[in-house]
A and B are shown apart, each in its own frame.
Chain A
Amino acid sequence: MDRGEGEYAAAPVLKIEGLHISFMQYDGGSRRKELTAIRDLDVEVGAGEMVAVVGSSGSGKSLLAHAILGLLPYNASMSGKLMFCGSELSEERIRQLRGTKIVMVPQSVAWLDPLQKIGAQIRKGRGDRKTRQQLKDIFYRYGLDQEVEKMYPFELSGGMNRRVLISTAMMEEPKLVIADEPTPGLDLSVAKRAMGHFRELADRGAGVLIITHDLELAMETVDRIVVFYAGSTVEEAPAADFNSQETLRHPYTKALWRALPQNGFEYIPGTQPRVDDLLQGCPFAPRCGRRTKDCDRPVPGRELRGGRVKCLYAE
């Protein structure tokens, strides 16, 4: 049961601790094998703020969105704490809140029903005066003509696409908005404009969670960044900390910073391992210059200078 309004103000909109997601797969023969996609993920989103989870593509971070919405595939299993506005986000609760209080902005119009007109889809079939007016208002805000309501998804141009997709989220009054790779392939300046829409949603009190591989975009648009590496979140920092290497905490984050073309374009050797190839300890240990024996044991997270980090030697 949800608590009263007062409780909402205190607890973060979304709080995830120790999320673990794995799959059962057949390994080409008849044997079942468990594949871990996410080993240990922590993230917190407060009302009114934009938080980005940044990790390389295909690293499994997209599953985060599906996990929150209760939409994991049939062969996946999940453990860890998921809290929405202070209380547990059980399967039943997410089913109630999905689409209304917790919404996901689809990645592309391919997610929309190609056989339904835009207006009807976004209104979810509701035809009452209030809903119709609300849609008109939203379209007006985003500079979309009235005719767009009568169009089919395939008729939309690229720019219209994005605005229509975000309208789907605006129709309800969501408390949590999740966007998975919201600006694929876009120039930085255009992407920043698109992210502006999400900023508006946050300004209206919602918590916005962006899942992306684009660190530069995150640096320029969100409030806090959570760095994801080989199945675990290794650092959580205010976006401003990414302006220089010294203000960052985890060795991996620092290496990422140095790898940016505008910051030196440097690299450290090695590749990101598969989660299942890792042993118990810090996922970055095999590539870290400051590794010690203690790094082979599970490394707890700790607060540091206004952020969080999972490293024994960060200062």
Chain B
Amino acid sequence: MKKRNRRQKMCIGLRFFVLFLLTVCVAGFICTDAARVTDFSRKNMAPCLLYPFGTDWMGRDMLARTLKGLSMSILLGVLSATVSACIALILGVASATLGRAADRGIGFVIDLMMGIPHILLLILVSVALGKGWKGVAWGIALTHWPSLARLIRAEVVQLKESPYIQIAEKLGKSKWYIVRKHMLPHLAPQFFVGLVLLFPHAILHESSVTFLGFGLDAGQPAIGIILSEAMQHLVTGKWWLALFPGMMLVLVVTLFYEAGETLRKLTDPASVHE
């Protein structure tokens, strides 16, 4: 058995992570119908062999529901986090390269958005766009970019001082060339780490917004809905309705976080050769 060095182990870990995500999504897709099927003859069953996560008050298989809900949340989270990260990249680079006015303007927007409580803003956007999938997705996308944008801006401001970028300017290269060839490759690690670390936020926020009733509607069993409905039944002792979906949510979020940290360790120059 070949001795694997640390970096190879990290890469394997990352591959497993992606595989796990894909499995969940595929499983969720397969379970679409199973998640909706109601059968009152088997309602409120505690976890057993046949139904490892139990069933809810409408007799729906909780395992199927959870898987489906997770896959929805993951897809939603990934999509909105990606859009958000892209907005952050564009605005971060723009504010550092397009002159004082752009910098002040974008800086003002960033400060403004960071001053308003996250959830509030999210709910506002979501409701303004009519809730549902579209509302939540845009809500998350439009509210998560400020801190990453700030990071990217700081990075670009520092990069601008690099001798090789100043030299490129004197060699006649256009601003766009410099951004494309010199800055973006340098920002890529920061960008991807920031992107992956946005997922947990996005997923959790989606769940909370839906839980509060401002997000997806009851028909789509995202984790938020599942948890929200389970709350009403906790009092009557049906713990499995909240425990398993909650645990799965924590697991996925933690995995995303670990993946982000792993990526950062792989790309951080200080620990890159461990």
Contacts and interface: CB of A to CB of B under 8 A. Distances in A.
A and B touch in the complex (CB under 8 A): yes
Interface stretch (B5-13, B204-212, B242-250): B5-13
A11 to B, nearest CB: 37
B272 interface: yes
A74 B11 contact: no
Interface residues of B, number: 7
A25 B271 CA distance: 11
B32 to A, nearest CB: 38
16 contacts: A23-B273, A24-B273, A25-B273, A26-B7, A26-B272, A26-B273, A30-B5, A30-B7, A30-B8, A30-B11, A32-B5, A32-B7, A74-B273, A74-B274, A75-B273, A75-B274
Given A26-B272, A74-B273, A75-B273, 13 more contacts: A23-B273, A24-B273, A25-B273, A26-B7, A26-B273, A30-B5, A30-B7, A30-B8, A30-B11, A32-B5, A32-B7, A74-B274, A75-B274
Interface residues of A, number: 8
B234 to A, nearest CB: 47
B227 to A, nearest CB: 40
Interface in A1-40: 23-26, 30, 32
Interface string A210-227: 000000000000000000
B186 to A, nearest CB: 16
Nearest to A35: B273
Contacts of B5: 30, 32
B223 to A, nearest CB: 35
Contacts of B7: 26, 30, 32
Q: Which 8 A-B pairs have the closest CB atoms?
A: A75-B273, A30-B8, A25-B273, A30-B7, A32-B5, A26-B7, A30-B11, A26-B273
A149 B202 CA distance: 53
A23 B273 CA distance: 9
B48 to A, nearest CB: 45
B189 to A, nearest CB: 14
A25 B7 CA distance: 11
Contacts of B11: 30
A36 to B, nearest CB: 15
Interface string B231-274: 00000000000000000000000000000000000000000111
A25 B274 CA distance: 8
Interface string A64-83: 00000000001100000000
Contacts of A75: 273-274
Nearest to A73: B273
Nearest to A32: B5
A24 to B, nearest CB: 6
Contacts of A74: 273-274
A26 B7 CA distance: 8
Contacts of A23: 273
A264 to B, nearest CB: 33
B5 to A, nearest CB: 5
A25 B8 CA distance: 13
* Most central of B7, B8, B11, B273 by chain A CB within 10 Å: B273
Contacts of B272: 26
A23 B11 CA distance: 22
Nearest to B12: A30
A24 B271 CA distance: 12
A24 B273 CA distance: 7
Contacts of B273: 23-26, 74-75
Nearest to B9: A30
A74 B272 CA distance: 11
A310 to B, nearest CB: 31
Nearest to A75: B273
A30 B8 CA distance: 6
B10 to A, nearest CB: 9
A85 to B, nearest CB: 34
B4 to A, nearest CB: 9
Interface string B1-40: 0000101100100000000000000000000000000000
Contacts of A32: 5, 7
Contacts of B274: 74-75
* Most central of A25, A26, A74 by chain B CB within 10 Å: A26
